[in-house]
A and B are shown apart, each in its own frame.
Chain A
C-alpha cells in the first residue's frame, strides 16, 4: 500500500535560515509526488509536483524539492525563510493507475521566527 511520512509535525526556523521539510513515501510503482501549502484559514495550494521529468522540481515562492528514488524521499527546501512562509505543509503521493487519488502525509507546521 502507498503511504507518505512527514518527519516532524512542527519545524521552527529563523527568518533567513534554510527551510527543510522532510517527506518519505512508499510506492510499488513510480509515483507522482506533490507538496501543498495551507495558510491559516485557507484551503490547500499546490507548491510543486514531481511527474517523472526532472528530479529537481522548482515551485512557487522559492521552494524546490528533489525526488530521490534510492531514498524514497521528496524533501522540500527553501534557501531563505520568510515570515510569510509560516503555514502547514503537506506532502502527497498519487499513483497514475489509480486516477487522481492522493495519499497525504500528516503535515508539518512551519514557524518562522523574526
Chain B
C-alpha cells in the first residue's frame, strides 16, 4: 500500500462549492504539507503543519483552509471554489528527525472548478 494517499484522485466541482481534499500517511511523519502544481509554475506551498497543533500558511494560502485531524491526516478545504483553483494538488510528509527532511509525496488530486 502507498505510504501517502490522497482522496479523491479526481474531482470536478462548480464555482462557489465547498470541497475537501484529504491526505493520509502511514509513514509516521510529524510534518505534512499541501502544494498545488500549475503548468510552468512548479509546485507552490499552500499550508504546512509541523505537528497536530502547529499549522502555518504557505506561499499561497488565500482561499484555502486546512485541518490536521491527527498525526496521520491533513485535509485541505476550498471554502468557495473558483476556477483559478483548478490545479493538481499534492500532499507531502517529512520527518523532522531526518536532517535534510526529504519530502514524500502522494499521487495527487486533479481538481477542475467549472
- A→B interface (CB under 8 Å): 4, 6, 9, 32, 34, 36, 42-46, 49, 51, 90, 94, 96, 99-102, 104-107
Question: Which size class do B's interface residues fall under?
Answer: 20 to 34
A-contact 0/1 string along B73-107, CB 8 Å cutoff: 00000000000000000101010100111111111
Q: Contacts of A9 on B, CB cut-off 8 Å?
A: 40
User: Do residues B96 and A100 form an inter-chain contact, with CB atoms below 8 A?
Assistant: yes
- 16 interchain pairs, CB-CB under 8 A: A32-B100, A34-B102, A43-B106, A43-B107, A43-B108, A51-B100, A90-B43, A96-B100, A99-B50, A100-B94, A101-B33, A102-B33, A104-B43, A104-B44, A105-B42, A106-B41
Distance between Cα atoms of A110 and B45 in the complex (Å): 24
Q: Contacts of B31 on A, CB cut-off 8 Å?
A: 99-100
Q: In the complex, what residue of chain A is closest to B93 when comparing beta carbons?
A: A100
Partner of B42, one of A32, A42, A104: A104
A32-B100, A90-B42, A101-B45 known; 10 new pairs, CB 8 Å cut-off, are A6-B42, A43-B106, A99-B48, A100-B33, A100-B48, A101-B48, A102-B43, A102-B45, A106-B41, A106-B42
Q: Contacts of A96 on B, CB cut-off 8 Å?
A: 99-100
Q: In the complex, what residue of chain A is closest to B45 when comparing beta carbons?
A: A101
